[in-house]
Amino acid sequence: MLSIKHLSAGVDGKAILKGIDLEVRAGEVHAVMGPNGSGKSTLAHILAGRDGYTVTDGEVRYMGRDLLGMEIEERARQGVFLAMQYPVELPGVNNMTFLRESMNAIRKSRGEEEMDAVSFMKLVREKARQVKLDEKLLKRSVNTGFSGGEKKRNEILQMAVLEPFLAILDETDSGLDIDALRNVADGVNRLRSPHRAMIVVTHYQRLLDYLEPDHVHVLAGGRIVRSGGKELALELEAKGYGWLLEEVAA
């Protein structure tokens, strides 16, 4: 589904990613871990199409297409979804309207029919219940004045409604209380299917306990320095990154 080859990228001449290789097949969940500043969000942003990064080498193919050549919205319409580390506030933009128009923009681009307001309302209510997002937040402006945890739940709600093929979650678990973490994990697990794949960026083992990723990667200094199964995450939890970085350096 997603194939990243030798991806190198940076900002203003500063190299951040230095040759990333990653294969993500449909049905898989990949966890990406790594120290602060190692380039995890940069990778997530580049996959979603954010401006400001320069790709200096490598390529990314998504469902057989050149992902990096696609507009941001085109990626979203083809099923790429990024749950952001810092979701953006949109004052004055009603959350419900935003979600409905988003869904309809995606549907329309696929030649599907738009969903009417009533059916949509029903759908969103149900999904909001699943991710335990207070319905009142649907009537407010997108993320505006939401607590940190509410913003993250709102991202998961969007993911649940939009049903992406490739979901990238950038530290969606950070700053969540234990119940919220559970809800986020449930949201991700519910979406799991043989047709979808997920890349979950996290610093914590706890989320991975719930998610049971197929692969765990450690990103350090702009490279994937180690890949393994879910036991790698347990090892990192116990020992930290120090030993790994030393091993790599050696």
Partner 1 sequence: MNQMIRDYQQTAMRYIDSLHEAGGDRLTGRRQAAARRFAELGFPHTRTEAWRYTGIEGLMQRGFELTERDEAFPRHAVMRRFLREPTAARLVFVDGRYQADLSDTGLAGVRVGSLREAVAVGDRQVLEAVGSLSGLGDHGFAALNLATLQDGAVIRVSAGVTVQQPIELLHLAGKGAAGRAMRPRHLVMLEADASANLVERYLALDGETAYFNNLVCEITLAERASLVHQRIQQESAQAYHLCDIHLGLQGKAHYQGINAAVGGVWSRTRIHCRFTDPGAGCELDGLYLAGEGQLTDFHLDVDHAAPHCDSRENFKGILHGGGKAVFDGLIQVREQAQKSNAHLSNANLMLSRRAEVDTKPQLQIYADDVQCSHGASVGRLDEQAMFYLRSRGFDKGQARRLLCLGFANEIVERFQSAPLREQLSEVIGQRLEE
Residues at the contact surface with partner 1, assessed by CB under 8 A: 48-51, 71-73, 75-77, 81-82, 84, 87-88, 90-93, 98, 101-103, 105-106, 109, 141, 158, 162
Residue 172 lies near Mg ion (rule: CB under 5 A): no
Residue 223 lies near ligand ATP (rule: CB under 6 A): no
Q: How many residues does the chain have?
A: 250
Report which residue's Cβ sits closest to Mg ion. Answer: 41
Question: Whose CA is closest to 86, among 122, 136, 50?
Answer: 50
| Residue 92 interface partner, choices partner 1, Mg ion, ligand ATP, none, CB cut-off 5-8 Å depending on type | partner 1
- 178: Cβ–Cβ under 8 A, 6 or more apart, which residues? 206
| Residue 227 interface partner, choices partner 1, Mg ion, ligand ATP, none, CB cut-off 5-8 Å depending on type | none
CB of 161 to ligand ATP, least distance (A): 26
Question: Whose CA is closest to 77, among 59, 58, 104, 57?
Answer: 104
Question: Whose CA is closest to 192, among 206, 216, 210?
Answer: 210
The dihedral region occupied by 99, where left means phi > 0, alpha psi between -120 and 50, and beta the remainder, is alpha
The strands making up 80-83's β-sheet, listed across from edge to edge, are: 80-83, 166-170, 197-201, 29-33, 215-220, 223-228
Which of 11, 72, 105, 117 is the binder for ligand ATP (CB under 6 A)? 11
Q: Which residue lies nearer to ligand ATP by CB, 38 or 78?
A: 38
Residue 40 lies near ligand ATP (rule: CB under 6 A): yes
Q: Which residue lies nearer to Mg ion by CB, 133 or 167?
A: 167
How far, CA to CA in Å, does 2 sit from each of 66, 150, 169? 10, 30, 15
Residue numbers of the site for ligand ATP (CB under 6 A)?
Answer: 11, 16, 34, 36-42, 52, 85
Residue numbers of the site for Mg ion (CB under 5 A)?
Answer: 40-41, 85
